[in-house]
Structure 1
Amino acid sequence: MPETPETPGTPETPETPAPAAGGPARGPASGATIRLEGLTKRYPGSALPAVDNVTMEIGAGELVVFVGPSGCGKSTTLKMINRLIEPTSGRIKIGDEDVTDMDAVKLRRKIGYAIQSSGLFPHMTVAQNIAQVPKMTGWSRSKVTARVEEMLDLVGLDPGEFRNRYPRQLSGGQQQRVGVARALAADPPVLLMDEPFGAVDPITRDHLQDELIRLQHELRKTIVFVTHDFDEAIKLGDRIAVLREQSHIAQFDAPEAILTNPADDFVSGFVGAGAALKRLNLTRVRDVGVVDFPTVTVEEPLQEIFDSLRSGTHNEVLLLDKRRRPYKWLRRGDLMRAKGSLARAGTLVNDTVTRDATLRDALEAVLTDNAGRVAVTGRRGEYIGVVDMETLMNSVHELLDADRLEAIEHQHQLEEQRAERTRAAQEGLA
C-alpha cells in the first residue's frame, strides 16, 4: 500500500518569482523558491548517509526533476522537503521561511504531495478526497464546494460525472488526476510528486504527462518531480538534477544542456544513445503547424455527411461525437459499404495527442496510423486540428541540422584550443 500523504493547505503569499531556467515564459508564478542547504539523512546502523549534504535552489514556478539510479536517495531527498522523512542535518527554506523546525503537520498542509497509485482514501468520494485539506484549514462549505468543482474541471474530469464516485470506480489514470486535484486543492505554492505516473500504462502515462505540462503552464507552481525515467525527465523538466549515490548532484541543468553537453560519463549513461532524437521531447505540438481538417458530427444527417465526402478535396473526413471529440475517420467508400449506418462505417480513432504532447509522442502516433496523421485535442478531448507526417519530419530535420551545426562549432572550438595550446608551448620553448 502507498503511504497516505499529507495534503496541502493555504499557502503563504508567494514571493515574486524568477523565471524558470529551462522553460518558456508562462506568466507570473504562484510557487515559492525552495532552498536546500546541506541536507543530510543518516539512518542508525548505516555506514554511509542515505543523502549526503545536498545543496540546491529551485526557482519559484520551476518544475525540477530528480532522476537517478534506484537507491540513490532521490525520493528520500524529496520527502525531506515536506519532512515525511526528518533530515538529520541541514536546512529547508520555502520562500523566505525556514521550515526545518516548524510543526511538520502544518508544513505538509502548505505543500501538495502526489504519489504513485494516487494514495486516495478509498472510503471517501472523489469530492471528499479533494475537499479534505480545505475543510481542515477552515474554508467555508460554499468555498470548498466551488473549489472541488474547479479542481475537477482543471484536471479534465466532469464534476457532474465524477464528484460522487469512489476511487474503486475510477481507472488508474482518473485516480491519478484526482490525486493531483487533491494535492492542489488548497492552492499550495509547492507540489512534490514521487513517481506519480509509474503505475499506469504507457498511453495513460503520456496523457498524464501532457496534462501536468498544461497545468503547469496555467498555474506556475514550484514542482519537484521524482522519476527513474530519463525520457520523462526531459519531457517535463525546466531543469533536471541527475543524482548519483547519496543524492550527490552529477549535473543540475536544463534538458537541452544535459542532452548536448553531459557533465561526465555517468550523465552520458543516462542520456544514452540518440540524444538528437531525445530532443523531440523538448518540442511540443503547439510549437509546430497544426492544420485544420474536414469534420462532420454524428448529429448531422447521413446525406450531408455523404455530400461532404463526395464534394470535398480530401478523400476522408473526421467524424466527431456529440462532444466534438474525434470518433472515426470516414472515407468516401465507407458509407456505401456500411449501407447507411454510421455504426458500421469508418475506422475508429485509436490515438490522439494534445497541444502539450511532445513531438516524440506525436511522431509515434503518426507512425502507427496508416494515413500518417493524428488528431490534436483540447482539455476535454475536443477536436482542435491535425498534425501530419510532413510537419513532424520537417521539425526532425531542423533538430538534426541544428545538432550537426553545433557539433561542427564544437569541433572548431576544440581545434582552436589545441592550436592555442601549441602556440603557447612553442613560445615557452623559445
Structure 2
Amino acid sequence: MPESTGKPKSAAASGASIQLENLTKVYPGNPNPAVDNVNMEIKAGETVIFVGPSGCGKSTTLKMINRLIEPTSGRIRIGDEDVTGIDPVRLRRKVGYAIQASGLFPHMTVAQNIALVPKMTGWSRSRIAGRVEEMLDLVGLDPGEFHDRYPRQLSGGQQQRVGVARALAADPPVLLMDEPFGAVDPITRDHLQDELIRLQHELHKTICFVTHDFDEAIKLGDRIAVLRERSHIAQFDTPEAILTNPADDFVSGFVGAGAALKRLNLTRVRDVGVVDFPTAGIDDPLQSVFDLLGSGAHNELLLLDRNRRPYKWLRRSDLARAKGSLARAGTLVADTVTRDATLRDALEAVLTDNAGRVAVTGRRGEFIGVVDMETLMNNVHELLEADRLEAADQQHRLQEQHSRRTQQEQEGLGGAGGPEGVPGSRA
C-alpha cells in the first residue's frame, strides 16, 4: 500500500496554540514549588519537547495543561479559550494524552480502547466504528487483524501505536505525550518515533512531548524547551540553534559531545534521496532470479516476502546454495528505515548490516527503495564542513571583537592623562 500523502477524511481539526502564563504548582507541605512561574507560548501545529533532568518538573508541567494536576496559580489558554477554570473532564476529552507503556485498559479490546473517548463524547456507533478502522490504518495496524485483539496479545510497539490511536481518536487539536516510547526496545523506539513524525506531517496537531533523551528531542521537536529545576526555562529554541549555540553550560551538558553527529537527527531519509534497487519475490521462479542477477549491473538483489516487505539480501554467490528454493539462500534483512527516519538512524542501520545500504519501507513495511553509505557519508561530510566553517567564522568574530576592545582600551588610556598619556600627569 502506498504511503498516505494527505489527512484522513475525518481528521478535520488541526492544532491549537497553547499559552502558559505564570503557571505554578506547590504541593502541600513543601515550601518550594515543583513548578515555578512558567511562561511559554506554543504555536498551533508545533511539536515542542520538554527535556530536563529527573525531578525538574517537566511531567508536572505537561499534566497541568490538561489539568491531571491542578495548577496552584497561573493560567492555561488553548486556542482562544482559557481552560484554567472549565470542567477538567470536558477539557481532557479535547486533549489527547499518551503515556509510557501505552496505558491501555487490559479488559478492553483494541477497538474498545480506541473508541473510549468518542463514545464518551456521544459519537454514533457507525461514526465510532469508522473512526476505529481509520485510526488503526493511520498508525499502520491492519484493522482486520487487530480490531478484536486484547492488549496482552500485542507487542510493546503495537500497544504504543494503539495508545497513540486512542489519544487521537476524538480528533483533538492538542496531543500530550509523557515519555510514550520509554518502555520499548531501541529499534522499536526508532520506528515509533518515525511513525509519530509521519503522523504529524498528516495531522498537524499541537504536540507537547516529555522526554529525558536529548537525541529523541532533537529528532522529534520543532522546538525544544530545556528545563532546569522547577521547570525554569534554560533555553527554548529550535534543535539547530541549541546544538550550534547552547545558552550556557547547563544546556551544553544536555547537548553533550558530538554535536555535529547529533545534527544527523535533523535530516530525514526523504531529504537525501531514496534510490531504486532490483527486487524479486519469494515465490518467483528461481530461473527468473538467476536471469535478473545475471543481466543487471548489481551483483545482488533484495528478496521480498508475499507482502512486499524486505526479507533477504541475495547475492549471485548465494544462488549456488539455493538448491531449488530461495528460502535457503541469502542473508536476512537486519534492519530497515522509513522515509521519516533520520540520517543517524539510517547510518546506524547501514553500519549494523555491514553491507553499505539499508532498505527504506512504507507505513506497512512495504519496500520503497534503498539509501546507501555513499549518500550518508556525503551528508556527514557536508555537516562537518559546515561546522568547521562556522567555527572558523566564530573564531574570526571573536578575534575582531578582541582587537576592537584592545584598541578602545589603548585609545582610552591615551586620552585620559597628560602628554605622556599617563593619568594624572602634568606638563
TM class by shorter chain equals over 0.9
1:181 is the counterpart of 2:165:
yes
What is the CA-CA distance between 1:331 and the residue it aligns to? Answer: 1.0
What is the CA-CA distance between 1:416 and the residue it aligns to? Answer: 1.9
Per-residue Cα deviation, 1:334-391 (whole angstroms, up to 9, x for no partner): 2221211122111111100000000000000101123111000011111111111110
Superposition pairs of residues 25-36 of structure 1, within 5 angstroms: 30-36=14-20
In structure 1, the residue matched to 2:121 is 137
Identity of matched residues, %: 84
1:319 is the counterpart of 2:303:
yes
Superposition pairs of residues 142-221 of structure 1, within 5 angstroms: 142-221=126-205
Matched position secondary structure for 1:356? coil
Matched position secondary structure for 2:131? helix
Query: What one-letter code is carried by the residue in structure 1 that aligns with 2:176?
Result: L
Q: TM-score, normalised by structure 2?
A: 0.93
Q: Which of 43, 48, 51 in structure 2 is aligned with 1:67? A: 51
Per-residue Cα deviation, 1:71-92 (whole angstroms, up to 9, x for no partner): 0000000000000000000000
Matched position secondary structure for 1:80? helix
Superposition pairs of residues 10-409 of structure 1, within 5 angstroms: 30-409=14-393
What is the CA-CA distance between 1:418 and the residue it aligns to? Answer: 1.8
Query: What one-letter code is carried by the residue in structure 1 that aligns with 2:79?
Result: G
Partners of 2:282 and 2:327 within 8 A in 1: no
> What is the distance in 1 between the residues matched to 2:57 and 2:251?
16
> What is the distance in 2 between the residues matched to 1:407 and 1:254?
19
Q: TM-score, normalised by structure 1?
A: 0.92
Matched position secondary structure for 1:368? helix
Per-residue Cα deviation, 1:216-254 (whole angstroms, up to 9, x for no partner): 111110000000001100110000000000000000000
> What is the distance in 1 between the residues matched to 2:83 and 2:403?
53
What is the CA-CA distance between 1:408 and the residue it aligns to? Answer: 1.0
Partners of 2:98 and 2:177 within 8 A in 1: yes
Query: What one-letter code is carried by the residue in structure 2 that aligns with 1:261?
Result: N
> What is the distance in 1 between the residues matched to 2:192 and 2:362?
13
Q: CA RMSD in A?
A: 1.3
> What is the distance in 1 between the residues matched to 2:319 and 2:134?
42
What is the CA-CA distance between 1:31 and the residue it aligns to? Answer: 0.2
Per-residue Cα deviation, 1:163-219 (whole angstroms, up to 9, x for no partner): 110000000000000000000001000000000000000000000001001111111
Query: What one-letter code is carried by the residue in structure 1 that aligns with 2:396?
Result: H
Partners of 1:66 and 1:227 within 8 A in 2: yes
Looking at CA atoms only, which structure, 1 or 2, has the larger radius of gyration? Answer: 2
> What is the distance in 1 between the residues matched to 2:323 and 2:379?
42
> What is the distance in 2 between the residues matched to 1:419 and 1:285?
44
Query: What one-letter code is carried by the residue in structure 2 that aligns with 1:86?
Result: E
What is the CA-CA distance between 1:306 and the residue it aligns to? Answer: 1.6
> What is the distance in 2 between the residues matched to 1:213 and 1:371?
27
In structure 2, the residue matched to 1:422 is 406
What is the CA-CA distance between 1:300 and the residue it aligns to? Answer: 1.7
Structure 1: 4+ residue segments shifted above 3 A: none
Partners of 1:67 and 1:227 within 8 A in 2: yes
> What is the distance in 2 between the residues matched to 1:129 and 1:369?
38
What is the CA-CA distance between 1:321 and the residue it aligns to? Answer: 1.1
What is the CA-CA distance between 1:255 and the residue it aligns to? Answer: 0.4
What is the CA-CA distance between 1:268 and the residue it aligns to? Answer: 0.4
What is the CA-CA distance between 1:419 and the residue it aligns to? Answer: 2.2
Partners of 1:32 and 1:59 within 8 A in 2: yes
Matched position secondary structure for 2:353? coil
Per-residue Cα deviation, 1:368-426 (whole angstroms, up to 9, x for no partner): 12311100001111111111111000000000000011111111221222222223333
> What is the distance in 1 between the residues matched to 2:32 and 2:157?
38
Query: What one-letter code is carried by the residue in structure 2 that aligns with 1:363?
Result: L
In structure 2, the residue matched to 1:27 is none
Matched position secondary structure for 2:320? helix
Query: What one-letter code is carried by the residue in structure 1 that aligns with 2:61?
Result: T
> What is the distance in 1 between the residues matched to 2:166 and 2:118?
10
What is the CA-CA distance between 1:302 and the residue it aligns to? Answer: 1.7
Per-residue Cα deviation, 1:13-66 (whole angstroms, up to 9, x for no partner): 96xxxxxxxxxxxxxxx1000000000000111121000000000000000000
What is the CA-CA distance between 1:310 and the residue it aligns to? Answer: 1.8
Structure 2 spans left out of the alignment, 5+ residues: 1-9, 416-427
